[in-house]
Structure 1
Amino acid sequence: MVGMAENDTYGNEIQSVDFHHLQMSMESVVYTLCHNYSRCSTAPSLANKSSQMKEFSLDLDTSTREFTMQNIISIVVPIIFGIIAVVGFFGNALVVVVVIANSQMRSTTNLLIINLALADLLFIVFCVPFTASDYALPFWPYGDVWCKVVQYLVIVTAYASVYTLVLMSLDRYLAVVHPFSSKTIRTKTNTYWAITITWVVICMACIPLLMAHGQVMYVFSGEEYSVCQFLQEEGWSLSVFQITFFATSYVIPLLLICGLYMGMLTRLWRKDAPVGRISAEIQRGKKLRVTRMVCTVVGSFAVCWFPIQLFLVLKSLALFEMTTFTVMIQITSHILAYMNSCVNPFLYAFISDNFLKAFRKVVYCPK
């Protein structure tokens, strides 16, 4: 997470300032946001290395035409994140409650859906509120330890959500392409093992992120601020991280999901697929449902995460300058990515008739 002029793991930009700074133009704020990148003409100078103080020399444009833009960034954006957090929290919590309250729904697929909901819940709890705080406050008020913990959990839960989707796709692939031989593989025990191994591997692989983030103090306009940022000055490369994160949390999972669903479609649309007693209409309906699921799973994941992933990679490589326009693009992309956790309950769970019936049962509590 960041405060005012830094970048966190997701490149959150803090455009909010103290109320007595609101006369500062958006352009000058944007100017401070990009100081870590080579295309910025001003670089920070260390005032005291032991205390990690940063001093900035800025030429401020006192234009006031961006006053409304600052209000949008510091007030409206946190409100949007708040809505996402509330809807996402209750939506994912309902998914968990629905499955737990209905023993007949505890299939391998639904166990993975619970894991996805839990991962999204953790993402919402440990990411969205602090991002909203970043946009609303000009500083990081939670300390160095919590800075490291939050950044670590943000990445861990993001990976857990993505690779749960991969496990769900693999489960569907085995059920459709190998319906009989996969029965010994698609067991609850193996599902628990797959979930556990996924979490352990992700948690272990992300440990370096605890050291790559930290709280830093700096001075801006004569006042001291704290930020939670990626520690490039200690030898960590932001561009390497962003490219690696893009590859391992987007490109590779998406390719795996696409490959698995293409295998399913190939199997279902094969002319020599056995029909047996199943009518042609049922077969056709099954194909259409799987096709719709392909569009839902792959499409929502790809559309929601691609803009912010691409933006942060290009930004870490300093391929464009930070302006009012690019900041707004990042904010929009940021919101879209977070909405993926918000809409997952609807896309991956409530699309099922069984889930809808169980959902109504839990909500209305009929005797």
Structure 2
Amino acid sequence: MSDDGNFTDEVTSSQGPSELSKFSPGLLTFAAVVTGIIMLVGLFGNLLTVVALLKCPKVRNVAAAFIISLCIADFLFCAIVLPFAISGFWTRTWSHGGALCKLVPFLRYGNVGVSLLSIALITLNRYIMIAHHSWYGRVYRKHNIALMIVFSWMFSYGMQIPTLVEVWGKFDYDPELGTCSIVPDEFGHSAKTALFVIAFIVPALLIFICYARIFWVVHRSEQRMREHQRSQHNNPRTLNNSTADKRSTIKDNRETKARRNEWRITKMVLAIFLSFLVCYLPITIAKVADNHVHYPVFHVTGYLLLYASACVNPIIYVIMNAQYRAAYAAALCCPLARLSGLTSGAYPSSPIACQQAVRKSERTSAFASYIKP
């Protein structure tokens, strides 16, 4: 390999046409345009989410720390990986040299690992909050949170170092994919299967187990709540207006509101995980069930869904959480906030007035969500 250009020419000419050469030019042009749109939306949405979470104390909690880590990983995916994906769709080959052929897949797999581990950490946080609330203060101290986030990044990239140094597979041009990926080394070894099991199957199983337990705990809690309310209604002694009864009712209402808020966040995290599965499973199924590319549209759709995973999370935050919408409004501090129904009338231009309007909209949204049946 004398230089980067010779490396690309030698690889593409010796291995024959890539998988992308089997697709129609119009389909690949469409995929390149859509990938460009996904990249722009992902860059803006994830950057805005990070700024909003850092700027708005209302949503700056433990889960927000892991969401910021997730957004940074998705932002890097959009900024570093997707431009090369657009180039691959457009040119139907790899034309960026040997060094980037190693670096880009290293970053791609690393960011995917960080994303899934961040979702797993958020789910674990929701599980401990709901099912083992007494542990929460001991587990989620500042240094523990920092260690969890650092671990997710170091583990995701660290487990690829053997492949990077070509001890267990290697990062190289894959002629079947038409891009750079993990390929077998000179001994025929590849880390793809192990990485899939360790970085995808294990976190996915952890998330599934946590949500199974969360649903069970919430179901049992709702049952006990209904039984308690039924017993109070049927027992004549509980119909008086004593101070103890009022305090008990106020406490029950507060616990119900707090549990509803935690459950609302938990459902949002579940939506994030399900969107991750929807985005990653199609391309996996396509590679296994149609490895000879008889259905090109299926493969291109799988690629686009894979790339869309980097921009879909901010959309979920906006749709499912009024506090996040208010945080976005505080970050933007512009009339766009009116589009989400957070305020009415002219939106204030000064930062202080903007923050006051956002806090007012938060209270209004929270009250409206609590009085829903």
The share of aligned pairs that are identical, in percent, is 24
Mapping 1:83-122, distance limit 5 Å: 83-122=37-76
What's the counterpart of residue 214 of structure 1?
A: 172
Pair 1:322-2:297 in alignment? no
Q: Structure 1 stretch 271-280 or stretch 148-157: which is displaced more?
A: 271-280
Matching residue within 280, 295, 307 for 1:305: 280
What's the counterpart of residue 248 of structure 1?
A: 198
**Structure 1: which 5+ runs fail to align?**
1-47, 59-66, 219-225
Q: Deviations over 1:52-105 (max 9, x none)?
A: 6744689xxxxxxxx9x6232331110000010001110000011112223453
Matching residue within 252, 275, 281 for 1:278: 252
TM-superposed CA distance for 1:207, in Å, is 1.2
Task: Give the distance between the partners of 1:200 and 1:183, measured in 2 at CA.
Answer: 25
Matching residue within 133, 137, 154 for 2:87: 133
Matching residue within 147, 168, 182 for 2:101: 147
* Residues 63, 122 of structure 2: 8 Å contact kept: yes
**Number of aligned positions between the proteins:** 294
DSSP 3-state at the match of 1:213: strand
What's the counterpart of residue 271 of structure 2?
A: 296
What's the counterpart of residue 316 of structure 2?
A: 347
Matching residue within 341, 346, 359 for 2:328: 359
User: CA 1:125–1:179 in structure 2 vs 1: closer, same or farther (change >3 Å)?
Assistant: same
Greater RCO structure (CA 8 Å; 6+ sep): 1
* Residues 246, 309 of structure 1: 8 Å contact kept: no
What's the counterpart of residue 14 of structure 1?
A: none
Task: Give the distance between the partners of 2:12 and 2:30, measured in 1 at CA.
Answer: 31
TM-superposed CA distance for 1:300, in Å, is 1.4
Task: Give the distance between the partners of 1:285 and 1:108, measured in 2 at CA.
Answer: 18
Task: Give the distance between the partners of 1:291 and 1:101, measured in 2 at CA.
Answer: 22
Greater share of helix residues, 1 or 2?
A: 2
What's the counterpart of residue 219 of structure 2?
A: 269
* Residues 107, 188 of structure 1: 8 Å contact kept: no
**Structure 2: which 5+ runs fail to align?**
1-6, 229-247, 335-348, 351-373
TM-superposed CA distance for 1:200, in Å, is 1.2
* Residues 156, 202 of structure 1: 8 Å contact kept: yes
Read off the aligned partner of 2:292 and give its amino acid letter.
Answer: E
TM-superposed CA distance for 1:278, in Å, is 2.1
Task: Give the distance between the partners of 2:147 and 2:268, measured in 1 at CA.
Answer: 25
Task: Give the distance between the partners of 2:215 and 2:53, measured in 1 at CA.
Answer: 28
Pair 1:156-2:114 in alignment? no
TM-superposed CA distance for 1:229, in Å, is 5.0
CA RMSD, aligned part only?
A: 3.2
What's the counterpart of residue 232 of structure 1?
A: 184
* Residues 261, 294 of structure 1: 8 Å contact kept: no
Task: Give the distance between the partners of 1:291 and 1:202, measured in 2 at CA.
Answer: 24
TM-superposed CA distance for 1:297, in Å, is 3.2
What's the counterpart of residue 301 of structure 2?
A: 332
* Residues 88, 341 of structure 1: 8 Å contact kept: yes
* Residues 123, 266 of structure 2: 8 Å contact kept: no
Q: Structure 1 stretch 74-83 or stretch 138-147: which is displaced more?
A: 138-147
TM-score (norm 2): 0.69
* Residues 53, 60 of structure 2: 8 Å contact kept: yes
Task: Give the distance between the partners of 1:57 and 1:302, measured in 2 at CA.
Answer: 33
